[in-house]
Amino acid sequence: MLYFSNLKIFSVLAVIIITLLFAVPNFFGKDQLETFPNFFPKQQVNLGLDLQGGSHLLLEVDTEEIIKERVENLNADVRRVLKKNNLNYSNFKVSNESLKFIVEGFNSEIQKEISELSMSNSQNILAMGDQTNLIITQEENTVQINFTEEFVKQSVSNAVAQSLEIVRRRIDELGTREPSIQRQGSSRIIIQLPGIDDPDRIKSLLGQTAKLTFQLVDTSVNFDPFNPSKAPIGSEILASDADEEFKYIVKKRIMVGGENLVDAQPGFDPQTNEPIVSFRFDRIGATKFGRVTQQNVGKPFAIVLDNKVISAPVIREAILGGSGQISGGFDSEEANDLAILLRAGALPAPLIILEERSVGPDLGADSIEAGQFAAIIGFIAVIIFMIFVYRYFGLLADIALIINLFMVLGVLSLFQATLTLPGIAGIILTIGMAVDANVLIFERVKEEIRNGSNMMNAVENGYKRALSTILDANITTLIAAIILFFMASGPVRGFSITLAIGIFTSVFTAFTFTRLLISFNAKRLKPNFVGLSKNA
Amino acid sequence: MLNISGTQINFLKVRVITFILSAILIFLSIGAFFVNGLNFGIDFKGGTLIEIETSQEIEISGLRDNLNTLELGDVQVQEFGSSKNLLIRVEQQLGGDQVQQDVVQIVKDSLGSYLSSDINFRRTEVVGPKVSGELIQSGAIAIFVAVFAMLVYIWFRFEWQFSLGAVLALVHDVILTIGVFCITQLEFNLPIIAAILTIVGYSMNDTVVVYDRVRENLRKHRSKEITDLLNLSINDTLSRTIVTSVTTLLALLSLFIFGGEVIKGFTFAMIWGVIIGTYSSIFVAAPLLRYLDVKREWNTTSAVDSTR
């Protein structure tokens, strides 16, 4: 076991040197790295948000809201079909997932009509080849209509994908540095924002669905804004965005919606110097808007955002150019954010923030400093202890330990794994545990010597005997690290990564590098080199 | 020169004492778990945590009284490492995930108007009820899976007797670690789960080394009485057990002292776990084999070759 062919020596050293090369960039500044030759690795360790400062948000798409909206649409469709066919229905019940009503004369013709209407209204969601998205059951005169499970699943999945895209657009609009936005599970979104420790603005941007609609104000009834009476059928009462107490009564019918916007920009009203948002419609939107304004000159229309009225100006003349502006008494940042929201589009459903973890840059820097210091002290303590116990062999193990530490750093940089505060703890723990493989070997060597082997044989047998123990012992720790990796997220996952890398590098260095060092000096080894007294 | 090699300590002689000691500790741990319970941090309980740094020293009780007027339920304020670093904890609010978000703003506004010094918000964590529920579940599952995986691994590499002994020792370690958190009422957070999993790995590592030697000695000394054989195996590996524990503890102590406040709970758990894990390998896992009727006739051509 002590003989190494040249090829072996070469490959062991090559692996170590290449890994170490990948650790090198971490000791230089970004600008210094620029001056390095091209072949040289330049990737530095990826610091986790807890070390570089930043914000982690876990959001969930409110999927119930999506289903509710679907059922709401279905409700309108079904009533329309029933009315069209002059069927009288009663006991109409809308639950979370289904419609139920009693009707006479419900037949397969009508059933088909409902199915087709519902299908045509949800084209964009259905998978290719789907025959229907409804399950209609009839028992005498009681009819129940449900969505198919597949359709519900697909609706949710679509909404989440769409939300992801809109969240990405909104965050990109803010010009955040290297944000990471990922889907997690079926309805969640993880957002990582390096360098942002107060995500208030982002949270408020994401907290709005930003559904913009233009609706006419219902002027047919007498109405006290502070004490509204019940709205007539076809109209609804909405609060003002600026003042919760001030109500408007607007027609439910949407003239134009935010989906027809092509651009929105913040600006200032040239006359009043008040911050405004100017917008532009696409062709369909422009046509619709032109027609409605033409027919309703002199009447007020409401600009509604997320069911709150931003403003309700009076239409002075037909607006045919397809552009306009919103002024609602907001400051310039609010105008800016509104423009961002309108450009990015509306979320299909509200987002709920489930978890937020933000770390300021100071704490991150302090953690790195403390971690480095702890690592150095721990390192020195272990090095001294090893030399104290194993003398010359201890020194070799220490050299291996240093190599080992840089290899962990190199592997982290190579794979662009994320180093977190618990990850640093993992490296420090590795310092303590990495010598274990060597300890097992050295103890075996001592034992062999006590049993009468000569030094060379003792080292040979020591390595041979210790192998299976070392593998068994390290595999158990590795199992724990792997389980942790799959169970944890964020910082704790960083711990499992450094722990696992440390296990591999320490077993590797013990079996190749320290052995190689010992073999260089094999002829001159003496028992006291491994910490036994001379007369043992 | 440190030399622990060649010891002949009769570890099994004291097994009754150590078993009783372990039983008492387990009893205390379980008792504390039901009496005190774990002091869950916001990872598992939900709520809001804000760490601030101020330019001047702050009188904590005054700040606490001020924050308690906000009607946010239980608000805790404590020093965190120094008198200018404070940790503010607000319990989870009723009303679901969305409501939790308002707490941060309310507390920040209140701090801004109450404190005259500059405030640096170092850390803000908000965990809603949904996530905290999931975290506690996945944490518990991870520990069970880890212990089970060890059981299976040892079973494959050794025999069921070894597997059972090792897992009993492991359960012992996990219970005592959770127990120490129940007794000290130190905050029990996500990193503590990571620590427990690492302890599971470490303790197993220690146990495997002893068991490996037991198996080897079973082959080598076929006629030796089991108690003597176990003693011999523990003594054979004692030096390694101590050296590795010491190096690991040296590294952990350095982390505990210099590694900063955030990681302290984790490091404490690890230090405790390494001590308990080492103890259990020698005084629980190995002596247990005496009662588990280990097989004496090992196939000498098995994967692990130790014949001369």
Q: What is the band of A259 on the pLDDT scale with cuts at 50, 70, 90?
A: confident
Does residue A71 sit in the same domain as residue A38?
no
Of B97, B121, B142, the CB nearest to A198: B121
**Chain B residues within 8 A of A532 when measuring between CB atoms:** 3, 5
**Chain A residues within 8 A of B209 when measuring between CB atoms:** 440, 469, 472-473
As a whole number, mean pLDDT of residues A408-435 equals 88
Does residue A429 sit in the same domain as residue A500?
yes
Of B138, B150, B255, the CB nearest to A425: B255
Give the separation between CA A152 and CA A125, rounded to whole angstroms: 10
- The answer, for A433 touching chain B at a CB cutoff of 8 Å, is yes
Of B146, B208, B246, the CB nearest to A385: B246
As a whole number, mean pLDDT of residues A129-155 equals 81
Averaged pLDDT of chain A: 85
A457 in a domain, yes or no?
Answer: yes
Contact, A460 vs A522, CB < 8 A?
A: no
Does residue A115 sit in the same domain as residue A235?
no
Contact B250 A381 (CB under 8 A): yes
As a whole number, mean pLDDT of residues A380-395 equals 91
DSSP code of residue A149: H
- Domain B11-37+132-291 classification at class level: mainly alpha
Beta-carbon neighbour count of residue A177 at 10 Å? 9
What is the domain count for chain A? 3
As a whole number, mean pLDDT of residues A278-289 equals 88
Would you say residue A513 has pLDDT above 80? yes
Does residue A216 sit in the same domain as residue A140?
no
A155 in a domain, yes or no?
Answer: no
As a whole number, mean pLDDT of residues A16-31 equals 87
Would you say residue A168 has pLDDT above 70? yes
Contact B1 A531 (CB under 8 A): yes
Q: In chain A, whose CA is at the least distance from the CA of B258?
A: A374
The domain in which residue A301 lies consists of 211-329
One-letter amino acid identity for A482? Answer: I
- The answer, for B240 touching chain A at a CB cutoff of 8 Å, is yes
Domain borders along chain B are: 11-37+132-291, 47-127
Determine the distance in angstroms separating the CA of A380 from the nearest CA of chain B, rounded to an integer.
Answer: 9
A293 in a domain, yes or no?
Answer: yes
- Please tell me the predicted confidence (pLDDT) of residue B234: 93
Strand ordering across the sheet containing A98-103: A89-94, A98-103, A142-147, A134-139
Kindly report which listed range (A83-87, A459-463, B167-171, B233-237) carries the lowest average pLDDT score. Answer: A83-87
- The answer, for A479 touching chain B at a CB cutoff of 8 Å, is yes
Would you say residue A95 has pLDDT above 70? yes
Q: In chain A, whose CA is at the least distance from the CA of B145?
A: A483
Does residue A402 sit in the same domain as residue A294?
no
The dihedrals phi and psi of A60, each to the nearest 5 degrees, come to: -130, 135
Contact B153 A473 (CB under 8 A): no
Q: In chain B, whose CA is at the least distance from the CA of A379?
A: B251
Number of H helices, E strands in chain A: 14, 19
Q: In chain B, whose CA is at the least distance from the CA of A373?
A: B258
**Chain B residues within 8 A of A491 when measuring between CB atoms:** 191
Q: In chain B, whose CA is at the least distance from the CA of A201?
A: B105
Which residues 60-89 of chain B have a CB within 8 Å of chain A?
Answer: none
Same fold, B11-37+132-291 and B47-127: no
- The answer, for A205 touching chain B at a CB cutoff of 8 Å, is no
- Please tell me the predicted confidence (pLDDT) of residue B308: 38
Q: What is the CA radius of gyration of chain B?
A: 24
Does residue A78 sit in the same domain as residue A225?
no
Determine the distance in angstroms separating the CA of A69 from the nearest CA of chain B, rounded to an integer.
Answer: 20
pLDDT tens by residue, chain B, 308 residues: 455 666 788 888 888 999 999 999 999 999 999 999 999 998 998 999 999 988 888 888 888 888 888 888 888 888 888 888 889 999 888 877 878 888 888 888 888 888 877 888 889 999 988 889 988 898 899 999 999 999 999 999 888 999 999 999 999 999 999 999 999 999 999 889 989 988 998 899 899 999 999 999 998 888 888 899 999 999 999 999 999 999 999 999 999 999 988 899 999 999 999 999 999 999 999 999 988 888 766 554 444 444 43
Instruction: State whether the Cα torsion B134-B140-B143-B145 is positive or negative.
Output: negative
Kindly report which listed range (A116-120, A384-388, B133-137, B219-223) carries the lowest average pLDDT score. Answer: A116-120
- We report the CATH number of the domain holding residue A286 as 3.30.1360.200
Contact B208 A476 (CB under 8 A): yes
- Please tell me the predicted confidence (pLDDT) of residue B1: 43
**Chain B residues within 8 A of A209 when measuring between CB atoms:** none
Determine the distance in angstroms separating the CA of A153 from the nearest CA of chain B, rounded to an integer.
Answer: 21
DSSP code of residue A186: T
Interface test with A, best of B54, B99, B197 (most A CBs within 10 A): B197
Does residue A377 sit in the same domain as residue A513?
yes
- Please tell me the predicted confidence (pLDDT) of residue B303: 44
| Complex prediction ipTM | 0.87
Would you say residue A326 has pLDDT above 60? yes
DSSP code of residue A318: -
Would you say residue A197 has pLDDT above 80? no
Does residue A295 sit in the same domain as residue A247?
yes
- Please tell me the predicted confidence (pLDDT) of residue A131: 66
Which residues 356-385 of chain A have a CB within 8 Å of chain B?
Answer: 356-360, 362-363, 366-367, 370-371, 373-375, 377-379, 381-382, 385
**Crossing angle between the packed helical segments A63-84 and A108-120, to the nearest 10 degrees:** 130
Does residue A394 sit in the same domain as residue A522?
yes
Contact A439 B138 (CB under 8 A): no
The DSSP annotation for A413-439 comes to HHTTPEE-HHHHHHHHHHHHHHHHHHH
Would you say residue A517 has pLDDT above 80? yes
A28 in a domain, yes or no?
Answer: yes
Would you say residue A535 has pLDDT above 60? no
A382 in a domain, yes or no?
Answer: yes
CATH code for residues B47-127? 3.30.70.3400
Contact, B272 vs B180, CB < 8 A?
A: yes
Would you say residue A128 has pLDDT above 70? no
- The answer, for B244 touching chain A at a CB cutoff of 8 Å, is yes
Give A272's contacts (C-beta < 8 A, 6+ positions apart): A327
A502 in a domain, yes or no?
Answer: yes
**Chain B residues within 8 A of A433 when measuring between CB atoms:** 202, 244, 247-248, 251
Q: What's this model's pTM, rounded to 2 decimal places?
A: 0.84
DSSP code of residue A527: G
* Candidate ranges A120-129, A223-232, A342-351; pick with highest mean pLDDT: A342-351
List, in sequence order, the alpha helices (H) in chain B.
15-35, 42-45, 60-68, 97-114, 129-157, 160-184, 190-220, 226-258, 264-280, 286-288
- We report the CATH number of the domain holding residue A121 as 3.90.1070
Kindly report which listed range (A95-99, A463-467, B274-278) carries the lowest average pLDDT score. Answer: A95-99
Does residue A112 sit in the same domain as residue A222?
no
Does residue A108 sit in the same domain as residue A23?
no
Does residue A40 sit in the same domain as residue A117?
no
Would you say residue A418 has pLDDT above 60? yes
